[in-house]
Structure 1
Amino acid sequence: MKNIMFAAAAALVVSILFTPYLIRLFSRQGFGQEIREEGPQGHASKRGTPTMGGVAIIVAMWVGYLTAHLIGGLTSEDSQPPTASGLLVLFLTTGLGIVGFLDDFIKIRRQRNLGLNKTAKMVGQLVVAVTFAILALQFKNDRGLAPASVNLSFVRDISLISFGTIGFIVVCYVIVSGWSNAVNFTDGLDGLAGGAAAMVLGSYVVISFWQFRYDCANPNPQLGCYDVRDPLDLALVAAAAMGACIGFLWWNAAPAKIFMGDTGSLALGGLVAGLSMLTRTELLMIVIAGLFMVEMMSVVLQIGVFRTTRRRLFRMAPFHHHFELAGWAETTVIIRFWLLSAICCGFGLVLFYSEWLAAVGGA
């Protein structure tokens, strides 16, 4: 438990202190955000705000994770070195962050709100996701348990639904692409995506630590135990990322001094996807990260309805812009959407705990 606190605290401090440096650096370099011309008029004043702040989140997350392991190794004889599961999630997060960084950099250089084209971005996500999927089925422990499973999962593996190796690689790409785009769509208001991501990651600190406490690898496994390869290390990753998001939010909250850009949103989407697969909670993540899912579905529905009827379902998609155009103040939309995210996280944790109670009671 102490290592989890070290990871979150170290990442929080690094994020708070490193972000102002990035603000000054990116401002000097002219790395300012381009704004959609068809977007809400109130956003025009944000043009030129430094972007690519996701670099701070990624750096702080790595520092928090490694610091926890370093301090744990110095203070505890039982401390474990970095695991395959933790490093794989960090790889997925960083890899998608690099794709996002390229996207942001091209936007800045071309002075328009269009970076990588759809094909290039898809290829980048594909390479990172497929590499992650292949590696996640390797590194089996002494119980033959790999970081990821080829079965679909809710709170545990659903053994009746197995994809096989090739099928899992395809599903992994769909999950990674879906969540990275979902967080990217949500990142349209100051602090909205960062605050919601911090709540989701906080939920996964609880989930991963609970899985560690009731790990089937324990000498005397208890009823309702979990077959997750490295739950404690995943809790460290989630805690470090949560601390990084909170620290970044200090500067990203309205009025934002810096935006995370695609560098941050794609990275956090990859983190969400990786945690869901390696903790065996892919379907539960849909509930916990419900705000991201709603934002993505609003875009899908808007496109589908417009192409079918030539009418718009919402004033503008993603969903948060609909309320802005309806007259809500930006901070009102942000706070209410944070509340929706908190409700989703709370409901997801209740479902997680209820499943454990049912497993214990039915065993």
Structure 2
Amino acid sequence: MKITIKEIAELAGVSKATVSRVLNNSKPVSDDVRQRVLEVIENTNFKPNAVARSLSLSKTHLIGMILPDLANPVFSRIISGIESYLRAHDYSLLITATDFDVEMKIRHINILKEKGVDGLILVTDHGDEAFQKELANFGKPVVMIGTESSVESIPVVQIDNYKAASEATQYLVDLGHKRIGMIRGPLSDPYAGKMRFDAYKSVLEPLGLFCPERVVEGWYSFDEGYSGMTALIKRSPIPTAVFCSSDLMAIGAMKCALDQGYQVPDEIAFIGFDDVQIAKMYNPALTTVRQPFEEKGRIAIHRLIDMIEHKQKTPQDRFITLSHRLIIRQSTEK
């Protein structure tokens, strides 16, 4: 039989309000009274109603998370990092996906707001003015993963995309490649799209190696990589190396080249970005830029809960830039 707070109060010889103060740690209670209440709670195996408790604390212990795409393995690794931290804390994660639709992103922000989440983790920030307004007016702590937010109060967990893409491109130059193509993300995506492309271009242009005809655009998927490489193969002369804005793109592009009879890396070398699990499993294994996705998730949720519990609007160290690493595999070197 379920015991109530009223019965706990009667057994401990205190008021219901005192039991509530002990449970919520909201107002001072003498040590002997607290001990008496806690002993009754332990002896009766009392478990407070989570909904009632959240109302009394004006907290739901729910964290909202908005992703662009649930299918991409990049985002599942971020979630894994978040969940590993949440297991030791009294919070649950509520995840939604937008399929890269800005209007859907706005709708999900409002849904999570109605659900009363205590905070929000948002992966990628690009959107229109209406989206930026909704984000600024969210009213609860928000942490961004992957891109800088235009809302100045939002902390950001990221890598240096420009530096990472520059190193990847320079590595291909150092291998002796003169015709280096790129399958980039959309330029409307300011970080994985535009910033990685700008870095690629900035390395090649001073060397006289940049050629717009060797650049194609697509979303971050296997199919887009395959179709992008199909387009590059039709252009003459074809690249001897291709840098892709994601691993899934790179594997799609490499599969296309292999299907067309090209030798990898002898005739065409490939490099990706992310280091998802399949990058090392594919044959030939993919050279790529490794991102610390699990660490991004852990740091983001740690920062968010800290903001929630200490009622901080913006931490002093707003920008947290994590290290990346170039992983060399068989797709670029024999």
Higher RCO (C-alpha 8 Å, min separation 6): 1
* Structure with the higher helix share, 1 or 2: 1
Task: Return the TM-score normalized by structure 2.
Answer: 0.27
Structure with the higher strand share, 1 or 2:
2
Report which of the two structures shows the higher radius of gyration computed on alpha carbons: 2
